[in-house]
Every structure is written in structure tokens, then in C-alpha cells.
Amino acid sequence: MATSIAAPRPMSAEEKKVIFASSLGTVFEWYDFYLYGSLAAVIAKQFFGGLDPTSAYIFALLAFAAGFIVRPFGALVFGRLGDMIGRKYTFLVTIVIMGTATFIVGLLPNYATIGIAAPIILVALRMLQGLALGGEYGGAATYVAEHSPMGKRGAYTAWIQTTATLGLFLSLIVILVTRELTGPAFEVWGWRVPFLLSIFLLAVSVYIRLSMNESPAFAKMKAEGKTSKAPLSESFGQWKNLKIVILALIGLTAGQAVVWYTGQFYALFFLQSIAKVDPKTANLLIAASLVIGTPFFIFFGSLSDKIGRKPIILGGCLIAALTYFSVFPMLLNYANPGLVAAQKAVPVTVTADQATCSFQGSPIARPIDFTSSCDIAKRTLTENYIPYKNVAGPAGSIAVIKLGDKEIPSLNATLNDKRDAFSPDSGKAIADFKKAVVETAKTAGLTAKADDKTMNKGMVLAVLVFLVILVTMVYGPIAAMLVEMFPTRIRYTSMSLPYHIGNGWFGGLLPTTAFAMVAATGDIFYGLWYPVIVASATFVIGMLLIKETKDVDIFAND
């Protein structure tokens, strides 16, 4: 274990094996995890289609919780295990859990066959996936970092940073090939194939990982009897460690997560829903930007070994915060200039008693939670991503949407006796109201789909690549930095939690938060305040309170 920077040399065979084994397994874990999201519509049909709306809603909520709550919990469970018994065996366990859970989804009989047991088991399996993923990343990053020589940690761990994107691509490739090969049978049984394939990926990963040695740092610590007996208490119960965990979250991973989610996922949502680009084109453009951007994970990880982790990660956060409000309007203009022109020509307002307008940001809200005329009006416009301004109306008045010169009054809705749907009259009235609004908006060009003839695909791609480059700046060096912030004995535990809280909560809440902000204000760019504020806060906190770590001897406190 070097304490000074080694002379430059090529990667040794052992180091290549370590990086390959760790990265490959992590790609497969992401593949397993993303399969569920990529096949969400088919899964819903197979497992939730027979449920009543309330039950379906609860199951969807639980499945969502797998990414939101369970990942950080998995970080705690497996972080603790990894610091007590070793990295190698812990991240063998995570991949066995993930692979097995995924494989069982492929075998699971659907709702039509085994009734309510089907969605229950499915969601339990999804929770297991979240748990496993929560343990995987910390293990892989720690394992690779502890094998890396000084001065190369950023370059080596950067390979782990490519795995989420590669896993996503792999899941899509397998799905598309399976669709091609099974044709109409895909919706019946073909969808199971990508899940079943996981068992082979699992076998490969387990075989490779079993042949690996334990991290030398951990092995030495274990031999000397210096491992932690209670990593959770040490990590979070002692202020000297807890403050670094908190700093890692608010000064690094929170900003990283919002830049990641904005560049990879919010950009896609923006293109499809706000710019109204057809889904295939939008997804292809995003895919192309990710392909072009992926090598930059390695570039920035390597660069961070020379110029430092902080300048790149925090630089990415700063550039994101300073440019998002320019870049997204640019994206809209390049993708759908006709829509931009219509929005300027036909202003839209919602005049309502503001006391009747509720908060629309709850991630667990359903349409039936919004019965006031203001909420129905706002949701109608927001669901179609039509920008509008709020105007205060008289107390007790019904909300009115005005598109140009045309006024359309909203309505107060009522629920049925079971309170699980709108009453038939309200349901019909809401549908009529929405139809009137959408038709008027359509005539005004406010719902105009992006036209291939006027879309500047080259510039759209350039903007998307810029967003992805920001992603690679904040994410490329971060594995190395998180590892460097904590001592070996509590490293797996301590670095996993801020990573999964940052990415699971700050990042995971981005779509719903952004939607809520758009819904509240009618400004289709207002949602960008969320990543801008979080990235700015991370920049300030990181600059002031986090020390550069590239030259840290990660074994100094062992």
C-alpha cells in the first residue's frame, strides 16, 4: 500500500481483473434494476391489471419505495456487513440477491394465474433489488479504490461510474432483441426472457468475483484485528465521522445527483413532454448523447487524479447551476420552434381563488386528491405542459382558464361513495373540461408536436451532450472522492449512505419536485430551480467545507 504517488506505469493484470470484475458485476446489477423500469408498462399489465385502483396505487407506491427508501437501507445493511466481514463476500451477496430476485420475476406467475399473491411477491422482489443495489455501489467503489495505486484512484474507479449508463443500454438492447425475436408473444411471455437471462449474468459475475482476492487493506486490517465491531455506530454515532457523512451528502452527492438526474432523465422528460418531441426521436437523441458522453466518465475520473476531485465535481455543479436556465429554453427552441412561437402569441392565465389551490408536489398524490376547480384547471394545463400565469380571483369563485381571448371555466369535483374515483358526473365534467381546454390549446398551437422539418437535431444533440458532459464531470471522480473521505474500517458503510441518499432522495425526488414547481407556477422552466438550488448549495458547501482528497493516503488511519 503506497504512501507516495507511484511512477506512471500501465495497469497490472491484477488491477485490470479487479476493475473488470467489479464493473461487470455492477453493470449487471444496473441491468437487473433498470429492467423493471424499462418494462414497467408490461409488468403493470401482467401484475397490476386485475387490481382495483386503490390497490394498484398502493402497489405502485411500494414499488416506487424500492428505489427511494430501500436503497439507502441497503447501503446501511451491506455497508455494515462489508466493513465487518469484507468487501469481497458482501458484494458477492448483493449480486446473488439482485440476480436471484430478477430471475424469479421472470418465473413469477401473473395476476391472472395466482391472484393477489402475484403483485405482492413482485413488489417484495423489487424491494430486494433496491436493497441489493444499495449495497453494490459502495462495495464496488471501495473494492476498486483499495486496489488502486496512489495517483490512479480517480482513473480506476471511473470505470465503475460508467456502469449505470451501460447497464441501462444493456437492458434496452436485450429488451429490443427479445421483442424482435418473440414478436407479439413478447407481451404474453417474451417479456420474461430479459429477466431469466439474469441467471447467466449472475453465474458469470459470481464465478469472476469468487476468483478475486479480498481487498488487501481490509485483509490486513482483519488479520490485525482492527476491523470495526460496530460500523454503524462508528460511522453515524461519532460526530467526527458523522459530520463527514453529512458533508459528503450536502457538499457532494446531493449536487451530483441532481445534475445526474437532470442530464440523464429530466432532459428526456423535457424533450418528450414539454418540447413534445415524439418518444422514439427523443429517446434516440438521449441515447446518442449518452453514448457520446460515456467516455468522459473515464476522462474526468483520470483528470481528477491530476488537478483534483473538487474542481471537477464542484465545477460541474457550478456550470449546471449557471447554465440550466439558458440551456433548457435553447433546447425547447431547437426542438420545437413552432411551439415557442405559439406560447409567445397566445398567453394563458388561470384566474382562481388562491385559497382553493393546493400543493401539487406530493410524490404519492393521485388525480382524485385534487377536486377544487383551481387544482383541476392547473393539473389540466400542467399535464399538457402548457405554460400559464396565475391570477388571483375573488374568494369562492370558480377557477377560469383563459387561452388568448377564450375563457373556459373549471369545476369543483366530487368523489364516488367509495372515495376511490370521481363521481360519474364529475368524471364526465372533468373529461369535458379537459377536452375543451386541450382542443382550444391545440387550435392555438400550444400542443403542437415537434416537427422533423423545423427541429434542429444537430443542435438538440449538442445541447444534450453538454448536459451529459456535466453529468460526467460530477459523477466521474465522485467514487474516488467518497472513498478518500473515510477510513478503511468504516468506509463501505460511510460512503454508501450519502451516495444512496443523495441519488435516491435528492435525485429521485427531482421529477416529482420539478413537476410540482411547474404545476404551482405554470412556468414550464420553474422546475429547474430545484436542481439549480441544490447544485448551487452543494457548490458553496463543498468549496467552503470539503477538503481536496486526491492526495489522501486512504490507509493512513488503518
Partner 1 sequence: MWKLVVGFIVFAGLALYLLMKGGDIDMSGEKHGLLNAHVVVKV
- With a CB cutoff of 8 Å and minimum separation 6, the contacts of 301 are 154, 155, 156, 157, 158, 159, 161, 476, 477, 479, 480
Which residue, 138 or 507, has its beta carbon nearer to partner 1?
507
Residue 266's contacts (CB-CB under 8 Å, 6 or more residues apart) are 510, 511, 514, 527, 531
Which lies closer to partner 1 via its Cβ, residue 177 or residue 230?
A: 177
In the complex, least distance from residue 260 CB atom to partner 1, rounded to whole angstroms: 11
Cβ nearer to partner 1, comparing 53 with 347: 53
Q: With binding defined as CB under 8 A, does residue 56 bind partner 1?
A: yes
Nearer to partner 1, 291 or 533 (CB): 291
Q: Nearer Cβ to partner 1, position 60 or 145? A: 60
How is residue 396 written as a grid cell? 369562492
- 364 lines the binding site for partner 1 (CB under 8 A): yes
Given the C-alpha cell 414478436, which residue does it identify? 183
Q: How far is the C-alpha of 354 from the C-alpha of 183, rounded, in Å?
A: 52
Of 2, 4, 6, 53, the one binding partner 1 by CB under 8 A: 53
Output the smallest distance, CB 377 to partner 1, in A: 18
Which range touches partner 1 (CB under 8 A), out of 64-72, 189-197, 299-307, 341-349? 64-72
Angle at 134 between CA 56 and CA 365, to 5 degrees: 30
Which letter does DSSP use for residue 229 in this model? S
**CB nearer to partner 1: pick between 37 and 115:** 37
SS3 labels along 348-393 = EEEEECHHHCCCCCCCCCCHHHCCCHHHHHHHHHHHCCCCCEEEEC
Question: Mapping DSSP to helix (H, G, I), strand (E, B) and coil, where does residue 473 land?
Answer: helix
Among 14, 180, 439, 551, binds partner 1 (CB under 8 A): 180
- Cross-sheet strand order for the sheet of 389-392: 389-392, 348-352, 400-403, 406-409
Candidate list 311, 329, 363, 404; residue touching partner 1; CB under 8 A: 363
Q: Which stretch binds partner 1 (CB under 8 A): 33-41, 245-253, 337-345, 399-407?
A: 33-41
* Range in contact with partner 1 (rule: CB under 8 A) among 104-112, 241-249, 510-518, 547-555: 510-518
Question: Other C-beta atoms within 10 Å of 32: how many?
Answer: 31
Q: How big is the site for partner 1, counted in residues (CB under 8 A)? A: 57
By the rule CB under 8 A, 279 interacts with partner 1 = yes
**Gyration radius of the chain's alpha carbons:** 25
The owner of cell 488511519 is 557
Region binding partner 1 by CB under 8 A among candidate stretches 204-212, 264-272, 446-454, 527-535: 264-272
Of the candidates 72, 396, 42, 68, the one whose C-alpha atom is nearest the C-alpha of residue 195 is 42
Q: Does 5 bind partner 1 (CB under 8 A)?
A: no
Cβ neighbors of 165 (< 8 A, separation 6 or more) are 264, 290, 294, 297
The least distance separating partner 1 from the CB of residue 86, rounded to whole angstroms, comes to 29
Instruction: Give the shortest CB-255-to-partner 1 separation in angstroms.
Output: 18
Residues in the chain: 558
CA distance 70 to 462: 36
Q: Minimum Å distance from CB 293 to partner 1?
A: 11
Does 270 help bind partner 1 (rule: CB under 8 A)?
no
C-alpha cell at 294: 460515456
Q: Which of 73, 265, 526, 529 binds partner 1 (CB under 8 A)?
A: 265
Print the binding letters for residues 407-446 with partner 1: x by CB under 8 A, - otherwise.
----------------------------------------
Residue 277 in contact with residue 292, Cβ under 8 Å? no
Among 512, 521, 538, 549, binds partner 1 (CB under 8 A): 512
CB-nearer residue toward partner 1: 486 or 505: 505
Q: Could you count the other beta carbons within 10 Å of the beta carbon of residue 51?
A: 18
Name the site residues for partner 1 (rule: CB under 8 A): 33-34, 36-38, 40-41, 44-45, 48-49, 51, 53, 56-57, 60-61, 63-64, 67-68, 166, 168-169, 172-173, 175-177, 179-180, 264-265, 268-269, 279-280, 283-284, 286-288, 290-291, 294-295, 363-367, 508-512, 515
